[in-house]
């Protein structure tokens, strides 16, 4: 399975590591570039933006968010909703 992980704090990065040990492919994003550098040193594929994350996942996208509660989670969900809706429309598919 290939999936995107958003948020690489202690829990997110460890979940990513465990998924990779289980044979899954992960593409990650975090707003903290230092955390992304840690992931890159561990040969984890990174994205520099949510847009890039959505664009580079397979068309049947699976996303896992590990963010603190509050505004950051709410704003990320709204941003992802917009990005996923746009990607869906660009794919030429229609909703049933």
Query: In the chain, where are the structural domains located?
Result: 2-90
**Mean of per-residue pLDDT scores for the chain:** 92
Report the pLDDT averaged over residues 62-72. Answer: 94
Does residue 91 or residue 45 have the better pLDDT? 45
- Cα angle 53, 78, 42; round to 5: 30
pTM (predicted TM-score)? 0.88
Q: Are 27 and 4 in contact (CB under 8 A)?
A: yes
pLDDT for 17 beyond 60: yes
Taking domain 2-90, whether its CATH number is 3.40.50.720 is answered by: yes
Does residue 86 or residue 59 have the better pLDDT? 86
pLDDT for 96 beyond 70: no
pLDDT at residue 90 in the model:
80
Q: Which residues sit opposite 26 in a β-bridge?
A: 3
């Amino acid at each position: 399975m290939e999936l995107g992980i958003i948020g690489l704090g202690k829990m997110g990065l460890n979940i990513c590591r465990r998924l990779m040990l289980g044979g899954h492919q992960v593409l990650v994003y975090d707003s903290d570039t230092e955390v992304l550098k840690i992931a890159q040193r561990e040969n984890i594929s990174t994205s520099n933006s949510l847009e890039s994350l959505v664009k580079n996942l397979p068309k049947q996208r699976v996303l896992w968010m590990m963010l603190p509660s509050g505004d950051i989670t709410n704003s990320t969900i709204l941003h992802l909703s917009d990005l996923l809706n746009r990607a869906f429309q660009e794919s030429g598919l229609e909703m049933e």
